[in-house]
Structure 1
Amino acid sequence: QGTYFTSLSRQEEFEGNTKSVIPLFSVTYFLTITFSIISCLRLSCIRNNVWLACCGVVSAGLAVLSSFGLMLFCGVPFVVTVANAPFLILGVGVDDMFIMIASWEQSSRKKEKPDVKSRLAETYGEAALSVTITTLTDVLSFFIGTWTAFPSVRSFCLYTGTAFVFCYIYIMTFFGAIIVLNHKREQGNRHWLTCMPVGVDKDQAEKSCLYNACCIGNCSRQSSQPESEHPMNIFFKKYYGPFFTNKWIKLLVVLLYGAYLGGSIYGCTRIREGIDLRNLASDDSYVIPYYDDDDKYFSAYGPRVMVVITESVEYWNETVRLGIENCTQDLEGISYVDKNLSESWLRAYTKLAKSGWINISNKTLFINNLPKLFKIVPSFEWDINKTQDEIEASRFFIQTVNVTSAVDEKNLLNQLRETAKQCSIPLMVYHPAFIYYDQYLVIVQNTIQNVVIAAGAMLVVSLLLIPNLLCCLWVTFAIASVIVGVAGFMTFWNVNLDSISMINLVICIGFSVDFSAHISYVFVTSGESSANQRAIEALYLLGYPIFQGAVSTILGVVVLAAAKTYIFRTFFKIMLLVILFGVLHGLVFIPVFLTFF
């Protein structure tokens, strides 16, 4: 049984990869809508916020459509990595929705009862800063990612960054209007599903709980009772916050953080570069058996490199031929090249001339006798690009060996290019895989550059929007800690550093700010007297929205774990690490560490 690979195989696989995740969109939207509805459910047919949940998801979907439409209209290439964007945007958009709903409900619990305009203004006053900070940091991290040397990363960052902008616009306009309409429905004592008026039954005590929840109104305009607190808010206030402000639990958290940091740093020292080319194809692709057979039977051989003489030279001049031969021998002298497996039309032609069978001493004879060479070795005809009286370019091949790792591939590429550069003849070395080897030359530099610039930008944004030095320092600490954690634990999950994982490391910055900035800001602006009480208040106000946002983001990308392609599975793995470590810092490490200062 034979296996095969063509020059179009990789392109076909990329196109197939994008199409393969389209069915997962519907699953993602179903999961996210379900979670949002469950989070917004109330045991009241009036105060049920199901439509708020659905419209929040619709808002994120509109952001994706608007972004993709604008980018495609502007001619930005749609590459396979861009297919990750809708999953990410959906999760983040729902996160912003939860923050808006939480702020709206907080305003309703105050003793004074402002009108709807005042309540909405107060909601924006509370939520807009948080949503603006998170959006601005996310957008900055993506647009900074466009400075990379990798076009695929640039396209992904442009599409996703623009989608974040639209997501912000829709949350601040479309969703704000939905909140007001939902409030008017509640004030009119209308059913959440039918929007029909619901009467207040005086005999509620005699009815079942299910009947009361589905059919009885309890939100009259004259009601002076504030909306009840969500059980999760009560949990964070009465149980979670006091538990983590206990001195022994604080000590345990410090030890846990030490273990986390130690493991992360160890993982960073073991991080691997490079991408296995088989991972660019789907698991059931016809090229996978080809790669398996290649590894099984031909693993000792690396790429067969084309050496191109890029300009017209005087091949009939013996001095020029000697120069080409010297260049060839220099290339064959590289440790990764087997000189016995080279293939050169010029060597064969020169050997034929030395046998006395043909004469190549001048231009006319050299060109006119080439058909005799082609008759002996027909394939050599494809190695020469000639006109009637000129050879414009030609090529020969060298065989590489023992190229087994990304380090070998990087060293091979550097040595080949450096040797070709020093040659007196204009040469270029080429193989289709070199486009991937080029990544290894700049991936570490690009990653560090983007992460440092993005982290610096996040610090500046934090200082501008949160004018508190202590808060900004904690945000910066969280950024660094989450990045180190994600980079380190990538190693333990067999994820290499490549252009795909580089995207996610830049994303880390925006998400680590999302989780830590809210808690830090509420802590430093709290009116409570003790540090422990300030931490409890911060967790009470933002613990549940942060938890909701984390779960919604994970639900947005979890279906990618079932994808048949490495690119999407890697995106899921790193996003899961980002969210888990971000939540760990936002709800455990940062609240505890803040109480020490």
Structure 2
Amino acid sequence: MFFRNPLIRRFIVGEHVRRIGEVGPLMFLTSVSESICFFLGALSDMPAVRAFALYAGAALLIDFLLKITCFISLLSLDRQKANRCCEYSLQDNEDNRSADGSRGALYNYFKSTYVPFLRKRNVGVVVVLTFFVWLCSSLAVVPYINIGLDEVSAMPEDSVQLKYFQHLDQYLNIGPPVYFVVTEGLDYSEKETQNMICGTRYCRPDSLAMQLYSASKSPADTYLAIAPNSWVDDFFEWTNNGDCCKQFPTNESFCPNNYSKPLRRQGQTLKVAGIHLSTAMLFPRPALRGLLTRF
């Protein structure tokens, strides 16, 4: 125990009573009004906004409880230790008592009921230990908190994308799509530029698609679940495909697949996107490469 003199102990208790009686009602009204404002935000249809509003409102109430319980207990212990040599003035205490008579109901409640109860030594120890255990339990679950915002939580219940994200998570078991965008300034009609982007067999081993493919081999580190798709590779596949997307050279009308195969067996030349194409090729011809300049 810090004090053996009951007069000094009464003086410390009286100081805490007056201070809490003065600022306690203001802290109470401020915390309650701010919490009500956040709780009103929980009326939103968006789950993310609702969760944030509930957490924020509860955090303000918990903060108020911390200030009027744990903080006062720690301050009381520190004040007792720092004022061992102080003398008690009965006259000052009587003057403060006479001034306290004109206080309101909240002040009288904090003075006569709350602060004396909290100032009990056993109660103060229990309060400090309770919040210390709460702090340790909160730190223990920090590693289990997910990073980022769940897409489903950010969508209202009537959103058209809600079902999409739910089915994506349920059936595909992958995260959100990732797009790697190349800045402008490249001439995609040049073979060297194509080699820097594509990911087919004859492309450069350090091309963009090949580097992303190598990164997908370590999903735990790169968070890339599968190998990416390159639109350049898709374009090459489209130009080398001899069974679709053909036109008759005479009238440039669409040539169905069931007509294109027999005609190609007969050696007739069909047209792809207005360009004659009779043999398969890995890279587009110079005339067909001109289409790449449109991308």
Question: Which TM class, normalised by the smaller chain length?
Answer: 0.3 to 0.5
Q: TM-score, normalised by structure 1?
A: 0.22
Instruction: Give the greater-gyration-radius structure (CA).
Output: 2
Q: TM-score, normalised by structure 2?
A: 0.41
Choose between structure 1 and 2: higher helix proportion: 1
- Greater RCO (CA < 8 Å, at least 6 residues apart): 1
